[in-house]
Structure 1
């Protein structure tokens, strides 16, 4: 996944931890060679379950993985993965200049405590911090350790606002959020999964200030669909929302930054128009009304003129 990635809350992804021995000659004289991965997940990331972790070794140019047994221990957000003796699993034909890579892979996911990314703001966000402990004394049990390294996972939010065409905020409008042919579900505004049926998904309602906030989304393109307008207003057209993210580690790796872009990437303003009880200007009802009035007025003038003429002839 690289050093940075983005995901929605609840989405399962993999962490991959890699330890490399430059050449077999570096550990040849050890009776045994120990590796311990010390991994700490921030509060917004969960280790999915026991049993999904694998450790594989690759030697030299050989792309065939050698499975390596491990002992794992989990204490809160801390995960320790131990390989007691790497040398016991090396192939017999290994050469002194062969490099050795050990890759530990396991599943994780963002939870409801995940920190939401802010565009252009550097931070620790949701991270996996790891360092490697390794044997460093061929004549004893001493160990050394690498400096800490980080992997970052970003998630995003949308702050949407409902207004009328005069800019006044509207309460009580209802929406659903789509991505492709799936509908997003939310619990207290936090993303909680997908549904294939609109009727089964969460109705998102604008509050007193006209806003509704959707938290825990992945990058991508969404459609915001108004399903119920406030009383006296028309439904708005569907609104496209695109979250485009460019993320990277900062220098030194102890923090990371994401830059967001795209149409309505921070949230959309959805505008409703009022429903009018009168015929529209230029409609047939108004035209006929004035035409009929004109005829009555002309008739009155003709009748009056005729009356005056008749009276004069009588005189």
Structure 2
């Protein structure tokens, strides 16, 4: 579920494109990108609303629609056991052309458990989804529902507009400590040198 983190009610947010990398290296791309011109600028309708690619015609041309037709939910069915990475390859944009901050990638591991009937048939009895932010991505909040041998995992992913703040303790502060330390050391050396010169003159 794709939502706008800038709104109080976390409204559904169309315009993202996600890519899920499968264990065998194949990818599935599901999404509704904003319809853009040759220069990459979003195209608006007569009322100034964003237009989206909501499907394809038989000849391969784009089907264009409004936000009410654009996807805000992305489904990846029949995942096998293994590790996956979910990447937002295109972030949504506002009607004025401002891009939302991209999120992810999200690494996670799928681990099903089974009960065996008659020593032969396997029945899905549980599903463990483990986020793996230690691999360099963000934490993905996941809810798992298990019914009648079928497990579904759902996650809500937020985008926000505005500036992305730099990391605390980056080079922006380190350089001031270095320069300050050099200046302090220089002042001490200068003071010692002047004292020695005074003693020698006496």
Query: What interval of TM-score do these two structures reach, taking the shorter chain for normalisation?
Result: 0.3 to 0.5
- Greater strand share, structure number: 1
TM-score, normalised to structure 1's length?
0.25
